[in-house]
A and B are shown apart, each in its own frame.
Chain A
Amino acid sequence: DSGVTQTPKHLITATGQRVTLRCSPRSGDLSVYWYQQSLDQGLQFLIQYYNGEERAKGNILERFSAQQFPDLHSELNLSSLELGDSALYFCASSGQVGGELFFGEGSRLTVL
């Protein structure tokens, strides 16, 4: 158990819909990362937050947004969903600069 909790574990929705994925980092970790993993593109970095502030952006689409709340949990919002958004979405947290990342078990999104 990494200490990082992601919900929901599985989500099936239709094209055009909007979903929210939630992540609770390890206790005390201020930094949260979101990654997308699909079969054809591997593990793609989406966005990172540190103590509520966005710190880094990767290959995140404009239809996607995220935030980190004062209690340090984070949400990834995916809107106008397309078939190609079907993927495993991981959240990871880190407690120190350059330290290891602790990954959640992921949220598997299926868009039909």
Chain B
Amino acid sequence: AQSVTQPDIHITVSEGASLELRCNYSYGATPYLFWYVQSPGQGLQLLLKYFSGDTLVQGIKGFEAEFKRSQSSFNLRKPSVHWSDAAEYFCAVGFSGTYKYIFGTGTRLKVLA
């Protein structure tokens, strides 16, 4: 069955520290991969996406993600976290030729000053 797993429900990091949020998917082929961010009281905003090509994808706000086919993973990274990055992050998977999407359960990021 198709699924998306974000194993970390909550993550706390200090401002200036590096960040990695994990995302694993289960699907027979290579899906389209997305990371969204939701600030409190806001809608979801796209951070970055992977469709094909270079497996290291750059996004907005200094985020990047790396697609690893062998691990069925699409982890989100940022070298230095800012207090404004505190939010909830969702990994999502889209499927070629369809309008179907599956979202992970989200990872809530807390940033310590």
* A interface residues, Cβ below 8 angstroms from B: 2, 4, 31, 33, 42-43, 45, 48, 50, 55-56, 90, 92, 94, 97-106
Contacts and interface: CB of A to CB of B under 8 A. Distances in A.
A43 B106 contact: yes
Interface residues of B, number: 24
A104 B34 CA distance: 17
Interface of B: 32, 34, 36, 42-46, 49, 51, 90, 92, 94-103, 105-106
A interface majority secondary structure? strand
A103 B45 contact: yes
Given A42-B103, A43-B106, A100-B46, 14 more contacts: A42-B105, A42-B106, A43-B90, A50-B99, A97-B99, A98-B51, A98-B96, A98-B99, A99-B94, A101-B34, A101-B44, A102-B46, A105-B43, A106-B42
Contacts of B34: 100-101
Nearest to B49: A100
Contacts, number: 57
14 contacts: A2-B45, A42-B103, A43-B103, A55-B99, A90-B44, A97-B96, A97-B99, A98-B32, A99-B32, A99-B94, A100-B34, A101-B44, A103-B44, A104-B43
A56 B100 contact: yes
Contacts of A106: 42-43
Contacts of A55: 99
Contacts of B97: 97-98
Nearest to A2: B43
Nearest to B95: A98
